Amino acid sequence: MQLKSLTLQNFKNYRRETFSFHDRFNLITGENGHGKTNLLEAIHFLSTTRPFKQHKMEDIICFGQTEGRIKGEFNTRSGLSEVHIMLDRGGKTIKLNGKVLYDSRKITGRFNVVTFLPEDTEYVKGSPADRRRYLDILVSNFEPVHPRDLKQYSRAVSQRNAILQKATKKSDILELWDGQIAELGGRIMNRRIATIEKLKPLVAGIYNTIAHQKKQIKVEYNSPVSTEGNLEENIREGLQTNLQHDIKRGHTTVGPHRDQPEFILDGRDASKFASQGEAKTLAIALRAAEISLIRSILGRLPIVLLDDISSELDRGRKLFLFKLLSEFQGQIFITALETTDVIYEGQKKTFLIKDGKAKTA
């Protein structure tokens, strides 16, 4: 799958710009603050219908404007697909091949993109919530219903918490929410654990290739309930066993919203002990494993976006990383301050971004 072309209108600092991309390697350079990351974000938005982070629409639309557009043409196995996203203060309207889509999963299930961002190290060094987020994004590649389940699950937890905080008789309504939490939570946990099982062997291999050393890397999924057997039942039991405790605390302490995925580097919790460079290498290995899984499970090559990838990596690691990228057969978009920051011998197209305008070099 490749993105052939892209038109941006009032998207962040792009007023109006059209791009025609290379099928393999697109290098995006330019000084700080001119729109390199914004361009990657537009591609991400077009492929997933989401910006990089939760944002208000008015932060995505160019300052002072009321509407924005992202339009692009993908080349997929089943032919050309045109995606057109219109943004306004109220939200977004998505068109696929000229028809309005009411279910954005039609997009997310179709165009896979893997994004390497500088803040990916948060998955390693940050909180369990950051790691849950990484894992849920990973799962969503293979299970397009996952985000919807997460949303419903989180609503059920909020409802249960609201009841826990009231002094009224609780049991009947609580049972109803317990049922929903167990059912959705069981599905969420199952998918996360199954995905980690597939991820594990890949991450270690990629890490050691980039770092050119032999580190033991483990990925664990820790939960207050057992992660074996019938997970729905385990959660239901956990909720009941912890009911008094939950009433005292005023919130639900059992379920996938409390689970803790962990990365273990040579026997130690990476969130506490990994150095900045190790965290970066691990974050890259996690994304590279995501590419590998998409290829093996879905049989397609995702579009790969890399933002400022080589900062904080020593020369050796940089060389191995770019070697991996050269071997990747799919389409790559990579930003860098200088063209010399990127080591790539193959054919490519270079874009110089200045003030929301692009020049090809």
Ligand X SMILES: Nc1ncnc2c1ncn2[C@@H]1O[C@H](COP(=O)(O)OP(=O)(O)O)[C@@H](O)[C@H]1O
Angle between helix 276-293 and helix 171-211 axes, rounded to 10 deg? 100
Size of the site for Mg ion (CB under 5 A): 2
User: 63 vs 102, which CB is nearer to Mg ion?
Assistant: 63
12 sits near ligand X (criterion: CB under 6 A): yes
Helices H, strands E: what count in the chain?
Answer: 12, 15
Q: Which does 102 bind (CB under 5 to 8 A by kind): ligand X, Mg ion, none?
A: none
Element (H, E) at 18: strand 14-20
Establish if 140 lies at the interface with Mg ion (CB under 5 A).
no
In the complex, the smallest distance separating the C-beta of residue 107 from ligand X, rounded to whole angstroms, is 22
Report the distance separating Cα 10 and Cα 65, nearest Å.
7
Q: Which residues, 6+ apart, have CB-to-CB distance to 253 below 8 Å?
A: 224, 242, 245, 246
Decide: is 355 part of the binding site for ligand X (CB under 6 A): no
Give the one entry of ligand X, Mg ion, none that residue 26 binds, where binding means its C-beta sits below a cut-off of 5 to 8 angstroms depending on kind: none
Tokens of 264: 């273990």
Stretch that binds ligand X, among 29-37, 88-96, 162-170, 181-189 (CB under 6 A): 29-37
Q: Is 44 in the site for ligand X (CB under 6 A)?
A: no
φ and ψ at residue 345, rounded to 5 degrees? -90, -25
Q: How far is the CB of 8 from ligand X (least distance, A)?
A: 11
Asked if residue 228 lies in contact with residue 235, where contact means CB atoms within 8 angstroms, the answer is: no
Q: How many CB atoms lie within 10 A of CB 57?
A: 15
- CB of residue 307 vs Mg ion: minimum separation in angstroms? 6
Q: Please report how close the Cβ of residue 340 comes to Mg ion at its closest, in angstroms.
A: 17
| Beta-bridge mates of residue 99 | 96
Q: How far is the CB of 37 from ligand X (least distance, A)?
A: 3
**What does 220 bind: ligand X, Mg ion, none (CB cut-off 5 to 8 Å by kind)?**
none
Locate 337 and state its tokens.
Answer: 């301050």
Report the partner that residue 223 touches, choosing among ligand X, Mg ion, none (CB closer than 5 to 8 A by kind). Answer: none
The token pair at 57 is 């629409």
Measured N-to-C along each axis, helices 315-327 and 276-293 cross at an angle, to the nearest 10 degrees, of 10
115 sits near ligand X (criterion: CB under 6 A): no
Contact 359, 352 (CB under 8 A): yes
37 binds ligand X (CB under 6 A): yes
Distance of closest approach, residue 41 Cβ to Mg ion, in angstroms: 9
User: What's the chain's length in residues?
Assistant: 361
- Taking residues 49 to 68 in sequence order and writing x for each that binds ligand X by CB under 6 A, - otherwise, the string is ----------x-xxx-----
DSSP at 61: B
**Residue 35 makes contact with ligand X by CB under 6 A:** yes
Question: What gap in Å lies between CA 40 and CA 17, rounded to an integer?
Answer: 14
Distance CA 292, CA 287 (A): 9
Q: Establish if 13 lies at the interface with ligand X (CB under 6 A).
A: yes
Residue type, 3: L
- Give the shortest CB-233-to-ligand X separation in angstroms: 47
User: Minimum CB separation from ligand X for residue 227, in Å?
Assistant: 39
Nearer to ligand X, 22 or 34 (CB): 34
Nearer to Mg ion, 33 or 316 (CB): 33
Both tokens assigned to 255: 């379920």
Take residue 244 and report the two structure tokens written for it. 């008094």
Starting at the edge strand found earlier in the chain, the sheet holding 217-222 runs 217-222, 260-265, 268-269
Which position among 21, 25, 26, 34 is part of the footprint of ligand X (CB under 6 A)?
Answer: 34
Neighbours of 84 (CB within 10 A): 19
Token couple for 186: 């069981």
Q: What track of x and - describes contact with Mg ion for positions 14 through 53 (by CB under 5 A)?
A: ----------------------xx----------------
Closest residue to Mg ion: CB criterion: 37
Q: CB-wise, 191 or 287, nearer to Mg ion?
A: 287
Taking the complex as a whole, how short is the minimal distance between the CB of residue 308 and Mg ion, in angstroms? 6
Q: Which residues bind ligand X (CB under 6 A)?
A: 12-13, 30, 32-38, 59, 61-63
Q: Which residues bind Mg ion (CB under 5 A)?
A: 36-37
